Structure 1
């Protein structure tokens, strides 16, 4: 199939007439008519019904237009990508982040990046770690941020910060004021957790397993906010990121229970497809992330913690 012929067909189909299509292409009407006739002859089907006031697609023409739209959309994307490279940091950056990172850690970095690169649209999706990894492999996002266990050989995991998981309870919970909580005591408590696939749950279960503890949660919730609110009712306890509970601790809605053998720290990862070449927009974003969290990583703390 001749792509020049296909481009002429596409222009005429979208314009609705040979004359308008020729104007868009900057060629004569007679040349477009000849090229269309040759294209139809080669394909062995009529693509247009010629009418006094324009053209109407036939059934085969409708089918071909659908493919042509997709093909030329891909070409436009390729041209846009090259234009982004020429002008640096233009376009769109799709980011996937686990709940804690997306909600409590990245907003300041987003603000810094957008002020420096106003031409780049940042699109954030907040999902659990398992979903983020799948979206990276499918090409639906450009970079991911995960708080789980790094285990996919097709992805490159780089620690960008450290986090601390803390045991929380309502202020009137029976464990408050009893001293450091032993890990074994959790087996006697109503423990709330994120759903399976959550990075926080994965590292929590790994940490407990290393200490010979296997917990069956009394309740699983897919939202950090729902977990906090449920714990605040006094129903049970949960292990959550210190980043996610700062406001509730300050307001006295939740309390942090000391744990024997703490603190319980975990690495946080920025994740990219292995051997991928980052765009200029992504390179700039990685620089912002590295500079935003470098001091916190070295100190073992995170921005905004003390």
Structure 2
């Protein structure tokens, strides 16, 4: 069954029997046979296929979703058995939201590689919502997200504080004002992250707490693009101090001094609740907790 699911997932993701056969080091008839056996076992047609396309049926979509989880669990079981017999080693699948992943995680990974060269980290950077999904579906061993999470299917551990400030260009008119309130920012253009991002969630909380609702907002899916936009004078933004260290040092971005800021949030570790963790995960978590 494990091989049938593996073949099925590969065909779905590559949308091609020949490519799947090549990647799996199998013949195309063997791939077709595994798909037919799986459809027979499921008692349902899983793929619509002709010479032009391969498409999941509704039942195929259900099988694909659960096949990813099953294969993730099977791989994790094998890794745990192997891991129990050796020192910390092997693949470590880490996911992080953008702020932590781009500005803090590389330094943690450098220390991990120095101390445990046999561990092979693989990094996924995405917004908080996507990292949560990947951990829940066993596609990541551990995730690091911005803010807190209330998800019964995951274990959440706040492990470090993150300070967030409002940043503007030194050429912005507000940079010359000593006393600035949130009310003064109502009519400014706010440059924000996309829905699903921890940084966007923090901005929304700030708007609610200040009882303002900006009419002009620009939305980007990258902290770097946001910083470039603010430097160019397009607006103001709320970002982590960790993400703006270089720009503050160079003087290309400055922080607005406003009552109620910095806004403090948590960085949190998320994992699947489990009795067993690979040693690679344990040593990585120890390094993360040292970030406090």
Inter-CA distance 282–216: structure 2 relative to 1 (3 Å threshold) = farther
What is the deviation of 1:78?
4.8
What is the deviation of 1:214?
2.9
Question: Contact 2:79 / 2:278 at 8 angstroms: preserved in 1?
Answer: no
Inter-CA distance 180–66: structure 2 relative to 1 (3 Å threshold) = farther
Mapped partners of 1:289, 1:191: distance in 2: 32
Instruction: Quote the residue 1:35 is aligned against.
Output: none
Mapped partners of 1:90, 1:212: distance in 2: 50
Mapped partners of 1:77, 1:161: distance in 2: 27
Instruction: Quote the residue 1:277 is aligned against.
Output: 276
Question: Contact 1:149 / 1:202 at 8 angstroms: preserved in 2?
Answer: no
SS of residue matched to 1:218: strand
Question: What are the residue-to-residue correspondences of 1:174-213 with 2, within 5 Å?
Answer: 174-213=173-212
Instruction: Quote the residue 1:156 is aligned against.
Output: 155
- Structure 1 position 236 matched with structure 2 position 206: no
Instruction: Quote the residue 2:94 is aligned against.
Output: 95
Mapped partners of 1:215, 1:142: distance in 2: 38
SS of residue matched to 1:167: strand
Inter-CA distance 240–60: structure 2 relative to 1 (3 Å threshold) = closer
Question: What are the residue-to-residue correspondences of 1:44-193 with 2, within 5 Å?
Answer: 63-64=33-34, 78-193=77-192
SS of residue matched to 1:133: helix
- Deviation per CA, 1:134-156, whole angstroms, max 9, x where unpaired? 11111110111111341322222
RMSD: 3.1
What is the deviation of 1:58?
10
Question: Contact 1:193 / 1:217 at 8 angstroms: preserved in 2?
Answer: no
What is the deviation of 1:73?
11
- Deviation per CA, 1:97-140, whole angstroms, max 9, x where unpaired? 01110111111111111111111110111100000001111111
Q: Higher Cα Rg: structure 1 or 2?
A: 1
What is the deviation of 1:266?
1.2
Question: Contact 2:148 / 2:158 at 8 angstroms: preserved in 1?
Answer: no
- Deviation per CA, 1:37-72, whole angstroms, max 9, x where unpaired? xxxxxxxxxxxxxxxxxxxx895796149979x999
Inter-CA distance 273–58: structure 2 relative to 1 (3 Å threshold) = closer
What is the deviation of 1:210?
2.5
- Structure 1 position 260 matched with structure 2 position 259: yes
SS of residue matched to 1:245: helix
Where in structure 2 are there 5+ consecutive unaligned residues? 4-26, 39-66
SS of residue matched to 1:87: coil
Mapped partners of 1:60, 1:167: distance in 2: 59
Instruction: Quote the residue 2:226 is aligned against.
Output: 227
